Each structure stands twice: as structure tokens, then as C-alpha cells.
Amino acid sequence: MNEFSPVAELAETIFDLPTPALLLDRRKLETNAQRMRSRVQQLGVALRPHVKTSKSIDVLQVLAGADGVPITVSTLAEARYFFANGVRDILYAVGIAPVKLPQVAVLIRAGCALRLILDSIDAADAVQAFASAEGLTIEALIEVDTDGRRAGVAPDDDLLTEVARRLGPGLAGVMTHAGGSYSGRTLSEFEEIAERERAGAVTAAGRLRDAGFPAGIVSVGSTPTVHYARTLDGVTEARAGVYAFGDLVQAQLGTCGVGDIAISVLTSIIGHNRAHGRVLVDAGFLALSRDRGTADFPVDWGYGAVCDAATGEPIEGVRVESTNQEHGIITALEGELDFSRFPIGDRVTILPNHACATAAAYDRYFVTQGDGRVSGVWDRVNGW
């Protein structure tokens, strides 16, 4: 059960909203969406947005443009929700757990072109045995490991063809995700990581084809690698998710500017602790998330960047230093905090370190056009 204040639905401006609340600036979303569409067009590949960031059909409609797009999901709850909202071509990009196969079958039988990913003989056997017993074809991509960060079969591992053989008619191609793209810091590092992702996936697909297996889909991506790739030759589709909203980590990776970040948490000033130089707000770690993604970057934003609620412009010299469950603590980076900037009851907005983590605490977006008016309420799907 996810509850939200009944008053919130009636809000005309963000200043009528009970706090904390998640705001979405539609103009910034549209700009981010357009930039990515241009980018993949330039690279000559299809776009398959990862909806794990927004989990919202309304957001997807902005991302997809007029023609609609296939999508990537991170949960079967997302798959059910987007399929119920008219999306048919869905890649579930987390290694399949056999206990979920009955839910997969329900979606496929209902007409969803749902594809799975896996990287082991045991998972391939489980999928194939289940599909045979159910009289279904269940398609899967083999996950390829191109940076040693998480999962996947190495492009040159003999396991690749063995998994393909076990999958039989279900083999649809390969996919990889350069999670390591978040560790890049220079242009040449980003380009190298993107090229390794591309080359690994293309090599794996080539080995499968050489061995007589079909590998129609060659899927790569992360927001940084799609942003920095010099070429995606041999790739058929790019996956990216967080570009829709951007965040403080992405801004330091150079894939967006701080001014492009489309979501923020609206919060109220609830206290002054003058003895310790702290302003308290009612957005704690549930509202902001515990994500400290910028801790490893040149600018450490703490738990988020504090902005003027009316203009969305960052307030210089402060950050959210720490959080408790429903308290955020704003401090000055150096020197004295100017308490007059933060009267009790005033609102500020907080830009997130990591958009996916912060948005996950909310079941709706209050949509703005950057003018303070609430122009819509968009839902999102959480859970599993």
C-alpha cells in the first residue's frame, strides 16, 4: 500500500504540495529525450530505453516520440505495467530466476514479446525445460561480460556456444552492459570503455554466428557509453535509462549538465540548529535515498544539491550533509550558514545523486513546466 496525501491531487502550484514530493520538469525531460534520440540516430542503432529510472508510461511516451519504442525493464512488475499500457517489445535485463518463469509465461501467452537474459548452462536448461513443458518458445539473449564488473560470459569463453546450444530455438542474440562506464573520468577512458562494450558484444555475436547459431540482436548500453561511443558498428540496439532524468552523478560523468536534471525532491524547511550550523528539512533518506554516488567524484554533493524552489537554480555553498529517515540536514560547505536564506516553512528542492534510487521512493511525479505550476500527476510502478 502506497499512500499519498489526498490534498496533493488538488495542488495548483508546487507550493500547495505537502512535502516531500517528487517533481518532474517536463521541459528538461523533453530536451533529454530529444538529445538521446538524435544520438542513437547518429550512431545508426535502435533505441531501447531502460524504464527502470522512470517506471512511468507517461515518461516513456516523451522518450519514445511519436513512433513508440521497444523497452528494457528491470522487474516483471515493470513488464506487466508497460505491457498493460500498450508496450509489446520488452527485454527483461536481469538474469532470469527460474521461480519467475510462470509469470513470464503469463506475459508471453498474453501476447507480450518478452525476452529474457541469462549467462549460464543451468539457467538456459531451466528456461528450455520450462518452455518445452509449457509448449512455449521463450526467447533469451546471452549476457556477455565486457568489463568484469558484474555478470555475463566472456566473449571468448567456450561457455558462450554451450549456453547457445542449450537454449536452442530460444536464442535471440547477445547483450552486455558496461557498468564500468561509471568509473571513467576522462574522455579517452569513456571512449575506451564504450569501445570495449561494443567490441565485446560484437565479438560474442560473431562467434555464435560462426558456430551456426542465430544472433540477431546485439544489444549494448548504459547512458555514459551511448553518450561517448565513437561508433556502434555491428550493434543493433542501445539501451540507456538514466539519461531521461539525469542526476548529479551523470553531470559529473559529463552526460548532462546540472541544469538538465529533470527531477527534484520538494521539501520544507522544518528547523534551524544554529548551535551546529544546520538547517533541517523534511526529506530524509527515504525521500532522497541513501545513494552517495557523488562521493567518488570531484564534487561530493552529500545527499543532494539544494535549489531555490521557485527557480530551480542551485543555492551555492550548501548541500545535504546527512540524513535520517525523515530528516535531511543542510550545512554550509565552508564558513557560516546563512539561515536567513532558509526561513522555517519555506520550500527548497533537492537534486538527486542518482535519479533511479531517489525516484523509487515515490509512486507519482508532480509534473511542472518550470514555472511552479503543477500541470499533471504521472504514476510510476514500484515493487516486483
Residues 254-283 within binding reach of a second copy (CB under 8 A): 268-273, 275-276, 278, 280, 282
- Shortest gap between Cβ of 356 and a second copy (angstroms)? 6
- Shortest gap between Cβ of 148 and a second copy (angstroms)? 6
User: Which of 213, 228, 243, 285: binder of a second copy (CB under 8 A)?
Assistant: 285
Q: Judged by CB, which is closer to a second copy: 318, or 329? A: 329
> Cell triple for residue 302?
552529500
Site residues for a second copy, 346-375, by CB under 8 A, read 347, 356-357, 360-364
Q: Judged by CB, which is closer to a second copy: 135, or 148? A: 148
> Is 376 in contact with 56 (CB distance < 8 Å)?
no
> Cell triple for residue 76?
516483471
3-state secondary structure of 191: helix
| DSSP conformational letter for 314 | B
> Is 301 in contact with 294 (CB distance < 8 Å)?
yes
Q: Is 340 one of the binding residues for a second copy (CB under 8 A)?
A: no
Overall size of the chain counted in residues: 384
CA atoms of 378 and 194, how far apart (whole Å): 33
Q: Judged by CB, which is closer to a second copy: 194, or 269? A: 269
Which of 350, 338, 234 is closest to 291 using CA atoms?
350
List all residues 6 or more positions away from 36 whose beta carbon is below 8 Å from its beta carbon.
47, 49, 63, 226, 240, 243, 244
Q: Judged by CB, which is closer to a second copy: 45, or 96? A: 96
Q: Judged by CB, which is closer to a second copy: 98, or 372? A: 98
- 367 beta partners: 24, 376
- 373 beta partners: 13
User: Which of 17, 164, 204, 307: binder of a second copy (CB under 8 A)?
Assistant: 17
Per-residue binding letters, 311-330, with a second copy (x by CB under 8 A)? -------------xxxx-x-
- Shortest gap between Cβ of 179 and a second copy (angstroms)? 7
Cα diameter, the chain = 72
Site residues for a second copy, 86-145, by CB under 8 A, read 94-100, 102-103, 119-120, 122-123, 126, 145
Residue type for 163, please? V
Site residues for a second copy, 200-239, by CB under 8 A, read none
Chain CA centroid to CA 372, Å: 25
Q: Judged by CB, which is closer to a second copy: 97, or 187? A: 97
